[in-house]
Structure 1
Amino acid sequence: MAGQLAYRKWPFTLLEASDKVGVAWRNHYDRLHLHTVKEHSALPFLPFPADYPTYVSRAELVTYLEQYAHHFGIQPRFNQVVTSIERTRYGGTQPGRWTVQTTTDTFIADQLVVATGYNRVPNEPQLPGLSTFKGDVIHSRTYRNGDPFRGKQVLVVGMGNTGAELALDLYEHGAEATISVRGPISIVRRDVLGKPTQPTAIFLNKFPNWFYDLVAGISQQLTVGDLSAYGLGKPKYPPSRLIREFGRIPVIDLGTLDQIKAGNIAVAPGIRQINEHLVTFTDGSQRPFDAIVLATGYRPALYELLEPELAARVLNERGYPTALWYDQPGLSGLYFLGFSTPLTGILRSLNINSGLIADHLTRQSTVPHVL
C-alpha cells in the first residue's frame, strides 16, 4: 500500500508495531518459501531480482522488503502499536476524520488503510487438558526448525499449509510426527509435472465459478486422489468453493502427502483429551507425545482495534472486513487491505487490491492526509 501511494507521490504516514520492516517474515520458520511463483508475488512496481528462485525464500523476501522500502523512500513510524481506531466527529453527528491511538501517540487522518492482515494474532485454542501436558507446547509462530525435536514424538495440531510443512520439517529432522486433523482436507499440488500450478489457477479464474470448480475438481482427483484411506477424508466441495463459501484455504502440498502415503508421517483425528504425556483422539485411540506444536493458524482480531459500533458495521461473522472500502455515511475514507485468501495467490491479490484502493483513495481527496 505504501508503495502504491509513494509511486503516486501521495503523502501518507505508515505505522509499524515493531522496530523493523518485515518483522513477521523475519520470525517465520526457517524453511519457509513463498508458495506462489515470483512473477506473481512481487510488490507493486518493483519485480523480484532476476537471480531469485521461482519460489522465494523467507530470508530473500526480507531482503526484498528492505530494498522495496529503500527504493520508494518508505519510512515507517516504528514501535507504533495501534490500540484503537474510531471515527471522530465535527460536533453533533457530523462524520469527521479517523483517530488512531497507539501506545504512545494519537494520529488523525482523513483516510485510513487498515493493512494488519488476516494473521495478526496467533489462534491458540484451549484444548481439553492441554494445561496438564508435561511436554513442550509451542505455537507455530515460535517454531524455527525441527532440530530441538529430533528423536521425539511430536503432535502437530492442524493441517493447514503451516501444519503440513512443519510435519514434513519434523520428519526430515528425525522426529516422529503425527498430524491431528479434525475433518477432510483439501489439498492441491504446488507443482504438477514440474510446472507451478498458480498460473493455471490464474487462467481458470477468468471463467465462471462452475467451470473453475469442475476443472479444479478433476485436477485434484488426478493429482491428489481420494485420501480417505490415509485419515484425511474427502472434501465435499472443490478448493475454490471452500474458499468462497467457508474461507477454508487448501493445503499447497510440498511433499507432506507423499510422506503420509509412505507411512513416515502419521495422521490422527481430532483431540478428545490431553493428559500429562498421553493424547486421546476422537476415535478412542491414544498415543504418547513429547511435544505439541499448535499449527492452529491466526486471526485478524480487528474487534480488538475497531470501536464496537464500527466493527459491527464492517466485519462479517468471522471477523473479516466485508469490502475493500465503504462509501456509506460515517465510513467514507476507511479501507482494508490483506484480508482475502484467493486461490490465485495472496501476494498477487495484495498487488491488485492495493492498486484499486490507491485509485479510489486518490480520487476521493484533494487535500490528502492518509494514515
Structure 2
Amino acid sequence: MTVPLPQQKKRVAVIGAGASGLAAIKECLDERDLVDVVAFERESYLGGLWRYVEVSEENPNPHSSVYKSTIINTSKELMTYSDFPIPLDWPTYPPNTKVALYLDKYAEHFDLRRHIRFNTQVVEVRELHDAQRRWSVRFHPFRPATANASADSLQEPEIQEEIFDYVMMCSGHHWKPRYPSFPGMNSSDPEGYTGEQLHSHFYRQADTFRDKTVVVVGLGNSAVDLAVELSLNQSQVYLSCRRPAWVAPRFILGKPLDHHRTRLTHAMPLFLLQLIVMWMFRRSMPPIHENMKPARRVFESHPTVNTLLPERITTGTVKPVKNIKKLGPGKRVEFEDGTVVDHVDAIFYCTGYHISFPVLDPSIVTDGKAGSEENNQVWTWNYMVPPRHPNMAFVGLFQPLGAVMPISEMQCRFLVRTLVGKTALLPSELEMDKDISALKKYISTRYDNAPRHTIQVDYVTYCDNLATRLGCFPTFAKLIVKFGLVEALRLRTEMFFGPPTPLQYRLVGPHAWEGAREATWGYAGNAAFANTKYLKDFEPSHKNKLTTILKQ
C-alpha cells in the first residue's frame, strides 16, 4: 500500500492589513493545514484607510484618506464580513471610528494580529521565474519621511528578503491622488491662483476653513461630503463638476438605499430598473439643480450617496457650478458657466486616485498595454488574477456598486481555495484574456468613459458568480439538504426579495458558518431572532480593550 506524501504548505504573502488584507489572512488561516501566511503592514495599526490619521509634519502623507466625520455609504447589513456580522444594535450607517473598531474586533476574534508584521515597508515584489513561479518580497522597517528628519534617520535601512509561493496584493488603490489640470493652477505663475489647493486625501476637518469661500471639485462621495461639511461650518461652497452624477439619499421609502438592490431587482431588465430608481430618487429628493442634471441614466455612472446635499443647495450655502475654466490671477476662479468668484480661499480636488502599485513591475497590472496606467486600466481576470502571473492576485482592486469588504472577502475565499486545489482551477491564459476583453467591452458600453469606472463591479452579480464557482452559493437544493424544505423555501424567498447580505454565502458550502441562518433572520427583522447571540455587541470588557487599541 502506497502512503501519499503530505502536501507541502504554500507560503503566502499578504501585502497590507486593511479590510481586504484582514480577510486574506483570515481565509488563509481557514486552510492553515495547507497554507502559511505572513502579512506586511507599513503602519503600526491595522484597518488601512478606515483608521483616522492626522496629516502632520511627522506623517505628511498618510495612507488613510478618512476625514474625521466620514460615515460609510453602505448599510452595516451589506458591508459586514460573512461570518462575523456587525452587531444588530449598531447604527445603520456606522462612522469610521465604528468601522475601525469592527476591524479590530474581527482581527482579535480570528487571532490575525500575530500573523501581521507591523511597521514594515515592502519595497519590491518580484517574480523569480523559477519552476514554481515563486515571488521575492523585499522589505525594511518603515520610517515616515519628515521635514526635520535627522541624518541618522535618513540612512538607508537594511533591506531583507523572503520567498513566497503566492502573493496577495491588498494595499488598496486610494492612496495616490489624481489631480486635474486647469490654467492657472501653478501658484508660481504671476497670473496663477494664489489660494490654498489640496486634494481631498489630505482633508481632515472643517474648522480650518470656517467662514471661508471654497471650491470643491468633483461630484463623488468625498466631494459632496466635503461640500456639505464645509457649508455646515459657515463656509460658502461652490461645488464644481465636469460630469454630473445621480445623488441618492441614504434612505428611500423608509429602508436603507442598498436594501432595495435585491436579487429581484437584479433580475429586471436594466432599462426598467433605471426608470423605477430614477422615479424613486425624484420622489425622495428636491428638484435637481440645473448644473447637476446627469446626462445619463442611473447605474450608467457610479452613484453618489448624500442625503443633505440637496438641502444645502436650497439654502444657497452650496452653489453648484460647471467645471473650472481658469484659475487666477490671485484668488479669482472662473467657471465654464460664466460664474466668476473673485476671492476663493481654498480649492479641494476630490478627483479620485491613480491605480498604482509601486512595488510591482507595472506590466503585471496592465499586461504591458500602452496608456493603461494613466487611464486606470488594469488587465486582471475578475479584477484579481493577472493572466501571465497566476501566483499573484489583487484583492480589493475594484470600484463597487455596494460595499468593499464582502467582495474582498469573497475574492479571498475563492483565491485561497483555488490555491490549495479545493475548488475549480483558474481558466487558461487565453480564457482569462477573453473574459477580460468581454468585461471591458461591457464596461465601456454601460458606463461613462471615466477613470473611476474602469474597475466597476456590482456586488450581487460579482459575488454570486464567485460563490457559484466556489460552491457556497445557497441553491434551493443545497438549502433543502441542510435545513429541510420549509426553511429552504423561507431562506430562498428572503434571498430573492430581501437585501442580499453576505451572511447568505455562509449558509452552505465550504467553511459554512453555524450562525449564518440565525444572523440572516436577525438582520431581516425577524423578531424571533432579534436577540440571537450571533448579533450581540461587544462585552463591556472587550469593548474597553478595543477602545484602548484604537487610542494607541
TM range (shorter): 0.7 to 0.9
Deviates most, 110-119 or 308-317? 308-317
Q: Distance in 2 between matches of 1:214 and 1:279?
A: 37
Residue pairs, 1:242-261, within 5 angstroms: 242=301, 249-261=302-314
Task: Give yes or no for contact 1:15–1:80 (8 Å, CA) kept in 2.
Answer: yes
Q: Distance in 2 between matches of 1:358 and 1:95?
A: 17
Residue 240 of structure 2: aligned partner: 180
- The answer to whether structure 1 residue 45 and structure 2 residue 58 are counterparts is no
Task: Give yes or no for contact 2:380–2:386 (8 Å, CA) kept in 1.
Answer: no
Name the amino acid aligned to 2:416. Answer: A
Q: Distance in 2 between matches of 1:299 and 1:362?
A: 33
- Residues 1:216 and 1:84: Cα distance change in structure 2 (over 3 Å): farther
TM-score, normalised relative to structure 2: 0.59
- Residues 1:210 and 1:116: Cα distance change in structure 2 (over 3 Å): farther
Which of 106, 110, 120 is 2:161 aligned to?
106
Residue 20 of structure 1: aligned partner: 45
Residue 221 of structure 2: aligned partner: 161
- The answer to whether structure 1 residue 331 and structure 2 residue 389 are counterparts is yes
Task: Give yes or no for contact 2:169–2:394 (8 Å, CA) kept in 1.
Answer: yes
Listed one character per residue, the Cα deviations across residues 7-30 of structure 1 (whole Å, up to 9, x for unaligned) are 343421111122211242223111
Q: CA deviation at 1:95?
A: 6.1
1:300 counterpart SS class: coil
Residue 7 of structure 1: aligned partner: 30
Name the amino acid aligned to 1:84. Answer: E
Residue 135 of structure 1: aligned partner: 195
Residue pairs, 1:305-324, within 5 angstroms: 305-313=359-367, 318-324=376-382
Task: Give yes or no for contact 2:365–2:386 (8 Å, CA) kept in 1.
Answer: no
| % same residue | 24
Q: CA deviation at 1:85?
A: 2.8
In structure 2, the gaps of 5 or more residues are 1-23, 54-65, 141-158, 188-192, 424-552
Deviates most, 171-180 or 38-47? 38-47
Task: Give yes or no for contact 1:186–1:250 (8 Å, CA) kept in 2.
Answer: yes
1:81 counterpart SS class: strand
Q: Distance in 1 between matches of 2:176 and 2:340?
A: 31
Q: Distance in 2 between matches of 1:227 and 1:150?
A: 27
- Residues 1:358 and 1:219: Cα distance change in structure 2 (over 3 Å): farther
Name the amino acid aligned to 2:208. Answer: P
In structure 1, the gaps of 5 or more residues are 243-248, 366-371
1:155 counterpart SS class: strand
Q: CA deviation at 1:263?
A: 2.3
Listed one character per residue, the Cα deviations across residues 275-298 of structure 1 (whole Å, up to 9, x for unaligned) are 121111123331120111221222
Residue 30 of structure 1: aligned partner: 68
Which of 147, 152, 169 is 2:207 aligned to?
147
2:117 counterpart SS class: coil
- Residues 1:210 and 1:6: Cα distance change in structure 2 (over 3 Å): farther
- Residues 1:352 and 1:143: Cα distance change in structure 2 (over 3 Å): same
Residue 316 of structure 2: aligned partner: 263
Q: Distance in 2 between matches of 1:63 and 1:170?
A: 26
2:205 counterpart SS class: coil
- Residues 1:121 and 1:308: Cα distance change in structure 2 (over 3 Å): closer
- The answer to whether structure 1 residue 89 and structure 2 residue 129 are counterparts is yes
Task: Give yes or no for contact 1:189–1:252 (8 Å, CA) kept in 2.
Answer: yes
Residue pairs, 1:349-368, within 5 angstroms: 349-363=407-421
Task: Give yes or no for contact 1:85–1:306 (8 Å, CA) kept in 2.
Answer: yes
Residue 482 of structure 2: aligned partner: none
Listed one character per residue, the Cα deviations across residues 105-154 of structure 1 (whole Å, up to 9, x for unaligned) are 33321111111223132223343322323322222122222111111101
1:96 counterpart SS class: coil
Deviates most, 156-165 or 197-206? 197-206
Deviates most, 312-321 or 258-267? 312-321
Deviates most, 317-326 or 262-271? 317-326
Residue pairs, 1:46-85, within 5 angstroms: 46-75=84-113, 76-85=116-125
Q: CA deviation at 1:74?
A: 1.3
Task: Give yes or no for contact 2:331–2:344 (8 Å, CA) kept in 1.
Answer: yes
TM-score, normalised relative to structure 1: 0.85
Which of 339, 348, 363 is 1:285 aligned to?
339
Task: Give yes or no for contact 2:134–2:165 (8 Å, CA) kept in 1.
Answer: yes
Q: Distance in 2 between matches of 1:354 and 1:96?
A: 20
Listed one character per residue, the Cα deviations across residues 162-200 of structure 1 (whole Å, up to 9, x for unaligned) are 110111001111111111111222222221133201111
- Residues 1:327 and 1:84: Cα distance change in structure 2 (over 3 Å): closer
